[in-house]
Amino acid sequence: MSSNSAIRFGQNLMSSKVGRRLTGLLLGVALALLPLMQPGWAGDPFRLQSPHEISATSEQVFYAMFRDGDYVEARAGLNNADPAATSDPLFHALAAAFAYLDEDWDTLAAKAALTQQTATQLTPTDPLRGNLYEAVGIFLEGAHILQTDGIARGTPKALGMLQQVFDRMDAAEQVDPQDPELNLLKGYMDLLLAVNLPFADPEKAIDRLGTYGYPTYVAQRGIALGYRDLERDPEALAAIEVAIAAAPDNPDLLYLKAQILRRLDRTDESLAYFDQALTYAEQLPSKTLLQIAFERCQVTGQDRTVCREWANEQYGA
């Protein structure tokens, strides 16, 4: 990455569009690595062969959040963890993601540090996941710096840490370049870079997710997001339909399909999917819920002020 491109990327990290995507996909980077609809191996929801040891709590939270889109149940799982969870870096990364959603920056910093610490301890026995979650922890630390120091002071520090993230990712890839957990995370990160940097190749990231990413509804969600941001909406729709077929009760996926249908001017279908997503109101984070309601209102042609007031009236605290 050239210095000018790196600066542009660091600035893009703080934009509202990329920031929202980071929240869901990279900032809570472990959250992108979702469980199978049907678990194949106890303790490892990612691999059908050669399972790795993952805590029961982490597995439980994965299912709650990304199979069912139930953030309330996921948070409860984190708050009632099994003792083994504290040695699992994924557990701390999940907790860090919730701290980011809550805008609890002190907790985000603490959980980022714990993610790195437990990942380092894991590396001698599981170098793939150890290096992978060292990268996650460093990324979370950089996110904390950007939030607390701001663009001017935080960007140079965060960019330096981004290179450390890439180094740790490369170390994990040397262990097993076809590992599904690794490829989900790296695929999402590569796609984020490709969408925001003009010289990067999004097709390479999409191919990584489609070829090695697993489970299917995680990989296809990432592909749908990439095609959406590249304004290739028919391809985005095809990908999100595959994801929903694998996880039909996930309101995050229903919401994404509603957005894509709106971009295709399929208004009635878009409204139907927004409404489906809103039926899961009790299990969604308040900010996500308000955003879904706001966008649903805009599909009907109302202006921003009216829609913001309507969303707050219907779904505000």
Total number of domains in the chain: 2
Question: What is the chain's Cα-based Rg?
Answer: 19
* Domain identity same for 185 and 39: yes
* Residue that the structure tokens 């709590």 belong to: 57
CA distances from 140 to 133, 137, 148, 168, 210 (A): 10, 5, 12, 14, 26
Spatial separation of the C-alpha atoms in residues 235 and 127, rounded to whole Å: 36
Q: pLDDT averaged over consecutive 10-residue blocks of the chain (317 residues)?
A: 45 44 41 32 54 76 83 93 88 91 94 96 94 92 89 83 90 92 84 71 87 81 90 96 94 97 97 97 94 96 94 88
Q: 195, 214, 233 — which closes off a domain?
A: 214
* Domain identity same for 137 and 273: no
In a domain, 224, yes or no: no
Q: 194, 214, 234 — which closes off a domain?
A: 214
* Domain identity same for 206 and 300: no
In a domain, 234, yes or no: no
Please give the pLDDT value at position 152: 82
* Domain identity same for 275 and 139: no
Answer whether 108's CB lies under 8 Å from 142's CB: no
Instruction: Report whether the peptide linkage leading into residue 285 is cis, meaning its omega lies within 30 degrees of zero.
Output: no
Identity of the amino acid at 8: R
In a domain, 255, yes or no: yes
Spatial separation of the C-alpha atoms in residues 111 and 181, rounded to whole Å: 21
In a domain, 19, yes or no: yes
Please give the pLDDT value at position 82: 85
In a domain, 257, yes or no: yes
CA distances from 13 to 144, 227, 314 (A): 12, 19, 31
Identity of the amino acid at 255: Y
Closest to 87 in 3D by CA, of 117, 129, 108: 117
Answer whether 104's CB lies under 8 Å from 69's CB: no
* Domain identity same for 173 and 98: yes
Please give the pLDDT value at position 27: 41
Spatial separation of the C-alpha atoms in residues 271 and 70, rounded to whole Å: 22
* Domain identity same for 192 and 296: no
- Measured N-to-C along each axis, helices 3-13 and 180-196 cross at an angle, to the nearest 10 degrees, of 100
Please give the pLDDT value at position 171: 97
In a domain, 238, yes or no: no
* Domain identity same for 65 and 160: yes
Q: 214, 234, 255 — which closes off a domain?
A: 214
Q: Which residues have C-beta within 8 Å of that of residue 49, sequence separation ≥ 6?
A: none
* Domain identity same for 25 and 152: yes
In a domain, 91, yes or no: yes
Closest to 182 in 3D by CA, of 158, 217, 218, 230: 218
The whole model's pTM is what? 0.81
Spatial separation of the C-alpha atoms in residues 179 and 50, rounded to whole Å: 10
* Domain identity same for 251 and 139: no
Strand locations in 209-300 (E):
none
* Domain identity same for 191 and 264: no
CB atoms within 10 A of CB 153: 12
Identity of the amino acid at 178: Q
* Domain identity same for 249 and 195: no
| Domain of residue 271, residue span | 243-317
Answer whether 181's CB lies under 8 Å from 129's CB: yes
Spatial separation of the C-alpha atoms in residues 119 and 129, rounded to whole Å: 7
Give Cα 200 distance to the centre of its chain: 20
Spatial separation of the C-alpha atoms in residues 270 and 233, rounded to whole Å: 13
In a domain, 313, yes or no: yes
* Domain identity same for 14 and 88: yes
